[in-house]
Chain A
Amino acid sequence: MSEQNQSRPEPQRSPLKESRFEPYEVNRPIPVFVLAVAVALMAWGVYTLWSGSGPATETAAREEAPTAGMAGDTDVANGQGSLLSVGASLFESNCVTCHQANGSGVSGAVPPLAGSRYVTGPADAPVQILLHGISGAIAVAGNEYDGRMPRFGETLSNREIAAVVSYIRQQWGHNAGSVTPAFVDEQRGRFPADRSPLSGGAELEAVTGISARLTRTAATEASQ
């Protein structure tokens, strides 16, 4: 570039010493692969929008769940299979966020359902917890927890509570008995609907007779 500079005309302090070249674009065609990508993406976009227009909202499962439960009401009376499928749907929309799909809970925060003596023991424990919620120290499957769970007594019907309790009592290798809506109704009668949440494992022991003490034997016995 130096020879170019040396042959420059008498320099002036004009601020406009730049090339007269103005950028422009050559009139080349669009490469075929760009068109191919565009067409492929268009097809994918239409397919995704078309097939993805199922549930109406991101949280649709939650809103549809009660409907599913109601639709299942007649089925609940009919057979075991549909009771469990309604329970599975309710569990997925109300419980998995904390207790996880595999029932493992969240370490240090949410007790597991899988292997819990409160799930597989006397059925009044899970039903009472669902009806009134629970708050405070509780020992489950070898660990201590101290959190709180909201009540579902108002949001779920007797049949829905029966369905979801039956579901968790027969998932993850559990083999405890199903629960009937009548049993849930009976359990509702034990306390006023607006009572405070059960206070941890201690009150559960008083209500259901399941020992709050955390021992291997207690857990094993309860599950039998």
Chain B
Amino acid sequence: MSLTIGTMMALSFVVSLIGLAFLIWAVASKQFRVDQSDAEVIFSGAEGEDHAPDDPTSFGFQRDAEPGEGTDTRHRKLIFALIGFGTFWLVLGSIFGVIASLKLHLPDWLTGSAPLSFGRIRTMHLNSVIYGWLSLAGIGVAMFLVPRLFKTPLRGVNLAWGGLVLWNIGVAVGVYAIATGWTDGMEWLEIPWQVDILLAAGGACFAAPLVLTAINRNVHHIYVTAWYYLGALVWFPVLFVIGNLPIHTGVQGATVNWWFAHNVLGLWLTPIGVGAAYYVLPKIIGKPIYSYRLSLLGFWALALFYSQVGMHHLIGGPVPTWVVTLSVVQSVMMFVPVIAVAINQHVLWGSNLWAFKQSLPLRFVAFGAVMYTLASFQGSMEAVRAVNTVTHFTHYTVAHAHLGAYAFVSLVLFGTVYYLMPILTGRLWPAPRLIALHFWLVAIGFGVYFFSLTIGGWLQGLAMLDASRDWLESMQLTQPYLEGRSVGGTLMTLGHLLFAINLLSLVFAARRSTDAVDTATPATSAS
């Protein structure tokens, strides 16, 4: 093999291995000089192990409440707007998704217009939920968490407002362009690159304030959540710009396509979800994360190994074998960071099940954190050629995508929003039962969705591999499972409507005193 880009990329695996080995050595030999006492000095309120649980809706507002640095809420309207527009795209995207799902088993339905054809409406669903819902809500959560993690007010709030406008216009124009049939023609990169310029500019307007805030930090030690958010802020703009440059064609285009598409999940949505869970779980429970060193391992192993996992989507394609093999190996290496994160997060909430039972936001976030572990394990296995042979080009892959992007990231975001809104507004959720209903709708809906498509997809894959069976059989046998998917998707969409109603009722409700709402909270007289 001559010295090509290929050799360099294979070398990158070796470099990653050396990096991981070095990290493990450094952690083991205590090169990172942060010990228990450091942790407590860093966080002034952190003496001792046990703190009162923090989730106003379930446990009431805290009596030791006291504004800390970085917790000022002058920019809270920005956060409301980000989450609000995100929710708008969530509801719209879910409706697109349900329509696309129904069309798979009701092919004669809504055949009259091109924008409603399956190919377009499914793509509109994808782009609405990825760039509209997950990205906007994730940035909203970042705008909430980053200032308080760095103990300094958010910088450049007006710039971020500009970003919100640009980003929303970008997503709206992009989704409209897809409806009219104008796309770049590659999965996850469908929004025409001309429109992507808007998104890139909007993204820069989001990233700059957060990075400025980090630069002006008032803490020495940076908490793990902030690593993930800063990492995502550096990674995603690079991915987005390179992936959308209109210069990739042919096999190279396909390679860049999947490199980008998978990295959106792993280096953008995953940090958003994992970072939020790393904050909300210990915050609500009032106890620390299991191990700082595992946090280090989890973060750096993700950074080292994730960037090249996407090309396992091209197994069997006309790309060099070593590209795919490298990608398969990197995918399986993802077990390392996932196990690290799993221990850190699941030990915490698993040993505090009383909080899991009482706090609805915690329930969303813990459920999402478990789904991260499962989605990642499943993804590593799917990348292996023997499994991929069956699952490739089937509904199984769709189920897996929703396990990651929905059950993991979306549920963590739901929980985080349910946690932070009472803190930002000073009001309790008016109807906690609707939150519980939201949880059960999306949890049950997702279960129906996931198991339908996983079983149906696997059978579909086996049928396609069996040369003695007619190919059409592999389509026909999926029909009951596709109907199951529509049922699950509809339940999830109803849950999203409830989420929107909950948000509206909190934000736009007349200023009512909390006693009318929650008996656990004594009457208050607003100043």
Contacts and interface: CB of A to CB of B under 8 A. Distances in A.
Interface of A: 1-2, 4-9, 11-31, 34-35, 37-38, 41-42, 44-46, 48-49, 52-60, 100, 104-109
Contacts of A28: 290-294
B336 A13 contact: no
B246 interface: no
B240 interface: no
A20 to B, nearest CB: 3
A59 B323 CA distance: 13
Interface stretch (B181-189, B422-430, B497-505): B422-430
A106 B470 CA distance: 8
Given A48-B329, A49-B326, A19 B51 contact: yes
A20 B43 CA distance: 9
A107 B469 contact: yes
Contact of A14 (B34, B52, B67): B67
B335 A30 contact: no
B65 A30 contact: no
A24 to B, nearest CB: 4
A22 B223 contact: yes
A163 B442 CA distance: 61
Most chain B C-beta atoms within 10 Å of own C-beta, residue among A12, A30, A108: A30
Given A17-B62, A34-B294, 17 more contacts: A5-B63, A6-B522, A11-B61, A13-B524, A16-B73, A16-B423, A19-B45, A19-B51, A19-B62, A19-B286, A22-B43, A22-B223, A26-B39, A28-B293, A57-B321, A104-B467, A107-B469
Given A13-B527, A37-B339, A25 B424 contact: no
Contacts of A104: 467-468
B321 A55 contact: yes
Interface residues of B, number: 96
Contacts of B67: 14, 16
Contacts of B316: 58
Contacts of B332: 41, 44-45
Interface string B388-423: 000000000000000000000000000000000001
A210 to B, nearest CB: 25
B286 A24 contact: no
A48 B325 contact: yes
7 contacts: A19-B64, A21-B51, A30-B294, A44-B329, A52-B321, A55-B321, A107-B468
Contacts of B318: 57-59
A20 B329 contact: no
Nearest to A53: B322
B90 to A, nearest CB: 25
A22 B46 CA distance: 6
Contacts of A106: 467, 471
B54 A24 contact: no
B294 to A, nearest CB: 6
B279 A23 contact: yes
A57 B322 CA distance: 7
B59 A1 contact: yes
Contacts of A107: 467-470
Interface stretch (B19-27, B81-89, B100-108, B165-173): B19-27
Q: Which of B35, B62, B319, B521 has the most CB atoms of chain A within a 10 A radius of its CB?
A: B62
A158 to B, nearest CB: 28
A60 B1 CA distance: 14
Contacts of A35: 24
Nearest to B518: A5
B44 interface: yes
A27 B526 contact: no
A107 B470 CA distance: 6
Contacts of A45: 13, 17, 329-330, 332-333
Given A34-B343, A53-B1, A15 B43 contact: no
Contacts of A18: 54, 56, 61-62, 65, 71, 423
Nearest to A22: B43
Given A14-B426, A16-B423, A22-B45, A8 B63 contact: yes
Given A1-B59, A30-B27, A104-B468, A37 B336 contact: yes
The 6 closest A-B pairs by CB, nearest first: A20-B45, A25-B292, A23-B282, A17-B65, A17-B61, A28-B291
Nearest to B64: A20
A46 B315 CA distance: 19
A116 B321 CA distance: 36
Given A22-B45, A24-B282, A37 B335 contact: yes
Nearest to B326: A49
B278 interface: yes
Contacts of A1: 53, 59-60, 520
A5 B428 CA distance: 14
A142 to B, nearest CB: 14
A20 B66 contact: yes
Contacts of A38: 20, 24, 297, 301, 336
A172 to B, nearest CB: 14
A29 B344 CA distance: 12
B45 A29 contact: no
Interface string B100-136: 0000000000000000000000000000000000000
B317 interface: yes
Given A25-B39, A30-B28, A57 B320 contact: yes
Given A20-B66, A48-B325, A5 B522 contact: yes
Nearest to B43: A22
Nearest to B339: A34
B317 A42 contact: no
